[in-house]
Amino acid sequence: MLTPERPSPRTLSFPPRLTNLAIFAAIGIVVLIFDEWLLIHSSFATTYQALAVILSSSFVVFLYTARLKRIDDAQQRIEIQQDTSRHLLEDIVSVRTAELVAANEALVAETINHKRKEEKFRSLFDSIDSGFCIVEMIFDELDNAIDYRYLEVNPSFEKQTGLADPIGKKVSELLPNLDPHWFEIFGKIALTGEPARFENRSKPLNRWYDVYAFRFGAPENKQVAIFFNDISERKRDQITKRRLTEQLLAAGEEERRRFARELHDETGQTLSAVCVRLRRAEQKLMLANQADTEILSELKMLQEYLQIAHVSLRRMAHDLHPSELEHFGLSQAIASYLRRLAYDSTTIINVVLPTDFPRLNKTFEIIFYRITQEAVSNALKHADARLISVRLFRDEETITLEIENDGRGFVMAETHGGIGLVGMRERAEMIGSELKIVSAIDGGTCVSLRAKINPQTINHATDPVATLARQTR
């Protein structure tokens, strides 16, 4: 914007535009002085009047011209200001327009990119074989999950569940008898944000599902995203395999029981009868005074050997079918077995067994007991161990058996697996448990068997934890 020039505060000169006005003012003053002189010398009056008229007219013309000049200068200044403002406004508009165009282009690019990502996600969403859905949890006033509503599902949802057009509907409308634990699991995920993976059965659908669920979006939305697969066929195969395993184990244990009974009732009785006959023969020879010292010594030695064989036979019969396992459970059966070994061995056997350990499923008890037998027997026969430690314990999720010795170990990579190791692994696989064997040449061996607790693992009628839970309900 243009501004008028201002005189320096240290000068008294007139501005350039007022110079002529000052001249005419000076002339006017001279005329007034000259007018007084003319009053004295009247002979010049006519000339003076004419001169006065000319000067007055010139002054008027000058004033008019000066006014026009001021008006013109003002218009020029206004035009300059308008021109400056116009250029400034044009620059502002140009810059702002460029910014808006750039922002619009960025928005268009972002929209296109977002659309492409959405198309890719939708393509993936529609093509995956796993069922997928987003649900909104519904809670009561105490924050207990009581229902959920389907917000989004993929095409595989109907294939995996058999439910058509679920969007916008509550699960209670589609599956009125759905188990409450589904609400509990998904409700906990929505409130805590902790994802979960689990296998569970839907009774109304009569299907098993492998599920991975996580919180979706902001916590206040209380939404859960769920991936799931129908694993009913796999579960049926597992159930069939478990039943076959139980039948094989039952058949094996029945054969062991029969063989143990035959050893006890037939072979044991035969050995007892031989011992009695030898004792009678010894007595008859002594009464008849016909036996020499060597014969009597041989007879006594035979009796001792038969007695040892009888004891070993009884132990074998007991190990084949431990009555404690059938009547008192795993913990007491292991304790009884280790007591007998400790009595006949110089190896120290350290035992840590819970007194309130629950009864397990019969198959689990047999497998845990047989693996204990195999691991301890290997330590005594092959490791030359001085100390064997056996621990059995449980937590909320697993049951663990650990058998450790300080004897000679072996290199796992160089061991193809003897009958004992192979048998332990096969037994562990039968019940879906995890068997780990860690060994070193100079570091001993540790055998660890870990099984997850599930409804098939524990006999809840004898579980103290389950019993306490029932009593406190």
| Spatial separation of the C-alpha atoms in residues 317 and 268, rounded to whole Å | 10
Specify the number of domains making up the chain.
4
Vertex 343 angle, CA 342 and 349, to 5°: 15
Tokens of 28: 């006017």
| Spatial separation of the C-alpha atoms in residues 66 and 21, rounded to whole Å | 9
For residue 55, the enclosing domain spans: 16-122
Last residue of a domain, one of 321, 351, 373: 321
Tell me the average pLDDT across 129-148: 92
* Tens-digit pLDDT profile for residues 265-278: 666 667 677 777 77
| Spatial separation of the C-alpha atoms in residues 431 and 242, rounded to whole Å | 7
Domain CATH code at residue 187: 3.30.450.20
Confidence of residue 461 (pLDDT cuts 50, 70, 90): very low
Gap between the terminal Cα atoms of the chain:
89
Between 117 and 366, the more confident residue is 366
* Tens-digit pLDDT profile for residues 62-110: 777 877 888 888 888 888 888 888 888 888 888 888 888 888 888 888 8
**Portion of the chain with pLDDT greater than 90, in percent:** 22
Residue 202 lies in a domain: yes
Residues 120-135, buried b or exposed e (16+ Cβ, 10 A)?
eeeeeeeeeeebbbbb
pTM greater than the 0.75 cutoff: no
Q: Is the pLDDT of residue 281 over 80?
A: no
Tokens of 335: 């304790």
Residue 8 lies in a domain: no
In 329-431 the beta strands, taken as DSSP E runs, fall at 348-352, 387-394, 398-405
Residues 461 and 337 in one domain: yes
Last residue of a domain, one of 175, 197, 230: 230
Tokens of 162: 């058999």
What's the CA dihedral at 375, 377, 380, 381 to 10 degrees?
Answer: -110
Confidence of residue 168 (pLDDT cuts 50, 70, 90): very high
Q: The tokens 């005594």 sit on which residue?
A: 380
Residues 198 and 102 in one domain: no
Residues 327 and 342 in one domain: yes
Query: How many other β-carbons are positioned within 10 Å of the β-carbon of residue 463?
Result: 20
Residues 317 and 332 in one domain: no
Query: How many other β-carbons are positioned within 10 Å of the β-carbon of residue 347?
Result: 19
pLDDT value of residue 464:
44
**In whole numbers, what is the pLDDT of the chain averaged over residues?**
78
Residue 94 lies in a domain: yes
Domain CATH code at residue 408: 3.30.565.10
Strand partners, 149: 136, 170
Task: Average the pLDDT over each of 13-22, 115-124, 317-326, 373-382 and give the range with the smallest value.
Answer: 13-22
Residue 6 lies in a domain: no
Residues 463 and 333 in one domain: yes
Residues 317 and 328 in one domain: no
Residues 226 and 245 in one domain: no
Residues 223 and 269 in one domain: no
Residue 3 lies in a domain: no
Residues 418 and 454 in one domain: yes
Residue 225: name the closest of 252, 186, 253 by CA.
186
Tell me the average pLDDT across 277-298: 70
Task: Average the pLDDT over each of 213-227, 308-322, 422-436 and give the range with the smallest value.
Answer: 308-322
Residue 419 lies in a domain: yes
Residue 191: name the closest of 153, 229, 133, 148 by CA.
148
- Give the Å distances, CA to CA, from 13 to 6, 17, 321, 405: 11, 11, 134, 119
Query: How many other β-carbons are positioned within 10 Å of the β-carbon of residue 92?
Result: 10
pLDDT value of residue 26:
64
Residues 352 and 424 in one domain: yes
Last residue of a domain, one of 78, 99, 122: 122
Q: Is the pLDDT of residue 188 over 90?
A: yes
| Spatial separation of the C-alpha atoms in residues 292 and 289, rounded to whole Å | 8
pLDDT value of residue 193:
94
Distance of CA 304 to the CA centre of its chain: 66
Residue 9 lies in a domain: no
Between 45 and 139, the more confident residue is 139
pLDDT value of residue 222:
94
* Tens-digit pLDDT profile for residues 36-48: 655 555 555 566 6
What residue spans of 154-267 are helical by DSSP H? 156-161, 171-174, 180-192, 232-262
**Region of residue 136 (phi > 0: left; psi between -120 and 50: alpha; otherwise: beta):** beta
Residue 11 lies in a domain: no
| Spatial separation of the C-alpha atoms in residues 451 and 334, rounded to whole Å | 17
Tell me the average pLDDT across 155-165: 90
* Tens-digit pLDDT profile for residues 412-459: 655 555 667 888 888 888 888 889 988 887 778 999 999 888 766 776
Tokens of 289: 């005074």
Residues 198 and 294 in one domain: no
- The kind and range of the H/E element at 458 are none
pLDDT value of residue 196:
94
Q: Is 336 in contact with 322 (CB distance < 8 Å)?
A: yes
Tell me the average pLDDT across 203-229: 93
Residues 301 and 347 in one domain: no
| Spatial separation of the C-alpha atoms in residues 460 and 229, rounded to whole Å | 30
Strand partners, 350: 389
